[in-house]
Amino acid sequence: MRTRQLVAVLMTTAAACLTATGVSQAASFTVEVTPADAGTAPAPKPVTVGLRADLTTADGFAPPALRAFTIAAPDGFALALAGTTSCTRAVLESAGPGGCPASSKLGSGSASLLFDISQLRVPAFTRELSVFRGPGDELLVYVLVTQPATFSIVVPGRLMARPAPLGPLVTLDFSAAASVAGGSVTIRRASFDLVRGLAAGPCPAKRWTFGVRLAYFNGGVENLGADAVCLPDVTRPELQVTARSAASALGARFAVVLSEAATVRLSLERRSGRRWVRVRKATFRAAAGPSVLRVRRANGRLLASGRYRARLRAVDAVGLASEKISASFRLR
């Protein structure tokens, strides 16, 4: 092969590699939640959420620069910020983590980076990576690098609640990494543990599934899922029921107390001679704690006077049922 042809082939191959590197993202992402046996539906337990990301491409080339990161917690998760305070970006940038209240720190971690300066890509590692709560729903990540150059970045983000049944959302904006210390930073791998800020309830299928979205400066976007192992809820709901006799015009009234939110299934029977005849079946959604259930009609008519008995059972969100409770009463 002639020299000119060889150069042309090499240039074409290099261009193809560069193109592949620009579009062939292949990030892997894992989440670990501890403790795995979390709280109940009405009372989620504070947990530590460990995040591990490898952004190198499938062919081993350096990853494109990450612009934004979002992780969506699943149903059952909630914010747990009681007892925490906040720090500001201005304080972090001027005084570093030492200027923030200790109670504003939510987690820590590390990252391996590529520092791009003067057309060179030099490996770099974080000396410190700390996560702080900012004002309102702000999240602030302080990153300190000492080799090959000393610089710090404050990466802004959000830790936000979402309408039920959706879990909280964590977002980070890496725009500041595009220009630091005369160069820019590309994240290769990152790992951090959020030890405060989130709580988790029961999981229905032995795993929690987190949604992950990675947006790159080159326009590429990846949407991933990451599963965290969890132990399913094994605590059955507890149900207490009280029924009182009343005038038939008022119907049946049941005072119930639940240990957790559940669906209450009710079967109502009326005494007819020596037999009990079922006149109504119904289901009710009830919150944890005390509530009142009412039944006034059966077969389209007001309940007739007579002796009644009801059988009730509570079933929680993962299908666990309470003991069946019977309650008798009379309508006059």
C-alpha closest to that of 63 among 97, 112, 13: 112
Dihedral in degrees, nearest 10, Cα atoms 166, 89, 144, 193 = -20
Of 12-21, 203-212, 281-290, 304-313, the least confident: 12-21
231-288: pLDDT as tens digits: 877 788 999 999 989 888 889 999 999 998 899 999 999 999 999 999 999 999 998 8
If you ran DSSP here, which 8-state letter would residue 83 be given? T
Pick the CATH number of 239-331 from 2.60.40.2550, 3.40.50.1820, 1.10.150.110, 3.40.50.300: 2.60.40.2550
CB 161 within 8 A of CB 178: no
Dihedral in degrees, nearest 10, Cα atoms 305, 311, 317, 320 = 180
C-alpha closest to that of 282 among 270, 294, 300, 292: 294
- Higher local confidence (pLDDT), 12 or 52: 52
CB 39 within 8 A of CB 201: yes
Predicted pLDDT at 328: 94
**pLDDT interval class at 141 (50, 70, 90):** very high
Write down the pTM of the prediction: 0.68
| Burial status of residue 254 (CB atoms within 10 A of its CB: 0-12, 13-18, 19 or more) | buried
- Higher local confidence (pLDDT), 9 or 84: 84
What does the alpha-carbon distance between residue 212 and residue 171 come to, in Å, rounded to a whole number? Answer: 10
**Mean of pLDDT values over 54-66:** 77
Q: Which of 147-151, 170-174, 200-204 has the highest mean pLDDT?
A: 170-174
Q: Which of 12-21, 109-118, 167-176 has the highest mean pLDDT?
A: 167-176
CATH node for 26-229 = 2.60.40
Does residue 56 carry a pLDDT above 60? yes
CA 198 from centroid of its chain's CA atoms: 8
Does residue 7 carry a pLDDT above 50? no
CA 7 from centroid of its chain's CA atoms: 52
Domain with CATH 2.60.40.2550 in the chain: 239-331
**Mean of pLDDT values over 85-94:** 96
Q: Which residues of 2-20 are buried (b: 16+ CB within 10 A; e: fewer)?
A: eeeeeeeeeeeeeeeeeee
The one-letter amino acid code at 327 reads A
The one-letter amino acid code at 70 reads T
Whether residue 148 is preceded by a cis peptide bond, meaning omega within 30 degrees of 0, is: yes
What does the alpha-carbon distance between residue 156 and residue 174 come to, in Å, rounded to a whole number? Answer: 8
Structure tokens at 297: 């009609």
